[in-house]
Structure 1
């Protein structure tokens, strides 16, 4: 009876996954896959096993190859990066595999792993038994990687399988292992491995004249002295089973009637069959983690709800906040939540004891010793909350109409004007968040003259206004009278008005001779956050519209019938983009209002913009010194005279018209 021969052992192939692979998967999941869990192609490489001599001990140490995956493992159409130009060392063997990334940890755990392995076993069996074409080392050794990416914690659960057909009876070694001169490639396997048939007779692998004779030994990742690498298993099965070899490499062969069973799931760190977890959070810079986490919450909107949302446009919008009080604090926080990275706050006051409870960027300590400057303190608070924000605080007073300039302060006011103009030029959106009407005048003029998107937020006791200032529909920044009236519910395509377009008097000093309740902004506490958030959401909706700051008001959602002028309305992905939103907290209701530009407006009319472009400081100085100058410049004074004349002369009313008006009032 023939002596029992030792069973040929195979060293399992392990994985070596670089952090760059997980970064690439993160980007792929957020920007392309989203909720798609369809299989994706992967490419990995392993190095041939080798032995090295330890210089200290003189002993030979084996180094086995592992399947290496990195950012280049993904295909070109998956992540937009090609590995075509990447050079591959001659000792690196390529394998192709499949990635299955699941959307939940439950799906990852509950997937039928046996079925996945059997499917790959069928694929390998087909490669081995098909006569259509000879398989390759690559096609005989596919791999499978299943993953779940927890992008909130940067933890990646994964399990890799290297399917191999189980040979029964097992391969047996009929001759002891010995070193082989690799230059004698035909003898590499002949002198190392043989098969036994059912009768126990040795079956040497003689005179193998196929490509495998040269390729197989060189592609062994194992450095073990008595175990071949895992990918060799399927190659040996092919050599023993394939009907396509013209010269059978084995004299006697025991055919297998059905496909053998499949094994191949990789063991985890505990040596058990189970998934592994790669935790990248400890390895990453906390600032970078925060940066990606901010983007994550926004990217998730695009998965199901808003796939067309352009987050990059919002992210790179530079916002100038004039006023760092209650409104400024809330606007800044909401802008950060939308991913805006550049925020500049402007204010001339300091933090008082009453501020911290209503203004969320300040603390009690900020109000001590006379109070810290509001703008700089708010900017520092933003950076503590999120280090990735580029927040700057500027202490600056804004010249105001009706507030005379002392002769000693002329140079200072000129410098303030230049500083404010520079800030407006450097930003895309200007927020007017001050606590007086006249302080909004100069930024309104600048925004209209420079074509900036100006967002205005104003508070009453239980009411608020959130609006965007209009810009001319054409490329010209000049204001012009509007001939077509606004129609409720229809897109208004004329020029929208600014904060001052409804006024028939110029902004004037409203800060002097005031009682305590008039000096403080007395409002219901919750209204500031509501108004601020509404203004930011309106800004984002405007940015998403194809026309941006020149978007018409009250745009119909996609699919609605044409309205107004008959044009098909094009909406922002976020919905309509109204001109003004007036909120009434007492009734818990909001009204959308469209206001037309006024050709005698003291903030955006042609007369004002022409004077500003001619000599900005002269305009500001005259407006500050003379409360009636802006009215004379725009023609509001003549309108006032005409009105007074009509009242003096008296107006005769038709009885029928008066009766109709009374009925209308009653209705």
Structure 2
């Protein structure tokens, strides 16, 4: 016979980003300067290892994680499937200095004493999850959205320590016919010979409450949702007469040393870092600093290139011109939402379909190519110019009905989702059947229903109108003439358009069209030609 000391796999913390967001909100709105410990609820899952796809490589062992999720502050929350609760407490300090100088030993000792008292009183027999109590000390720097934290997972020490008899690991299928005493626990460890942290306090409970000296332990492990328990293990553990001494269990940092960890969520939570502060150059607004305008244009090009969908939610018509041109040039999905006082328009800009023909429904019959849908500027016969000069706020569409922006924004997002579910994506043709009597009436090939081109809403009548508009060959934003000019001359072309919108009318042929219209208006009709 041989024996080894039982070596336990400690917990490793895994804190989800929404936990820090909730902590920030509660700190500001609820706790304020109150730094008393607050109850929280973590959870863990059983350990397992994944088989490598390469026969020459070892299996991949998953770490023993203790998670804090979105519902950690609600101790009655429903946990994710295949997980087990772990009650804890969080002490959030008010300053970084307090976090550093706090008597963490006293906090840790207090948590360990709670575990021991639960063992003595028998509370842990009724609720074994009390054996996995933990303590979390934090400081939330809400100016920089940086969080300092240190987990303690108290595990009772004994003298002499527990040992594994025979140092033999058996499979679960070999133990069911045994007449020996058996205890099982959800084991977060995935190592073959090392049980997880919760067993440590469970053995203390077995010794104190039932005076167990030797027992078979089922380290239950299951691959989630696959009913595969082949990773489970059986250990025969000897529990000598012991004396409980102070607990251990402070988590090590990323350097493997005892110390706190930090997480910087400024990129996710800081309003300054969730966006880019740039000015969008506009036709009719002459350039005052060419270097600054060029930098803004380059930044906007970079942003549009690196994203799949562009929402245009500006306050003026002309501010939408450059993103519209860039979106058309890069064949991006551009969705526009524009507001009036009690009206709105939500539309997607057309993207040319490169396929030679299109089919509809389940029929294999080829249909003629559908003309490209129009953009925000395709109904215009003049170039965009300064629409803000000498206009009041309501004329600038800055004053709207209270629910208008929320309605238009929601439609814009839903339109995006519907387009992305279509097999042609941004090039999807427009649907017009806006009032189906049942879900089966949807003629669109999108699983979510119809995909309109434009929705024009009227809060005066609480009504929407579905509109389809085709691309205009003389459009000042998406026509081939404009796109070719931009492709050829780049920023020099943009600079001319910013300084003088008339150049857009010249490039697209609108200037000639206006001249021809004026000639037609000035035509003198002969009296005889007008007689009936």
TM-score with structure 2 setting the length: 0.50
Which has the bigger relative contact order, CA under 8 A and spacing at least 6? Answer: 2
Tell me the TM-score normalised to structure 1 length.
Answer: 0.40
Q: Which has the larger radius of gyration?
A: 1
Greater per-residue helix proportion:
1
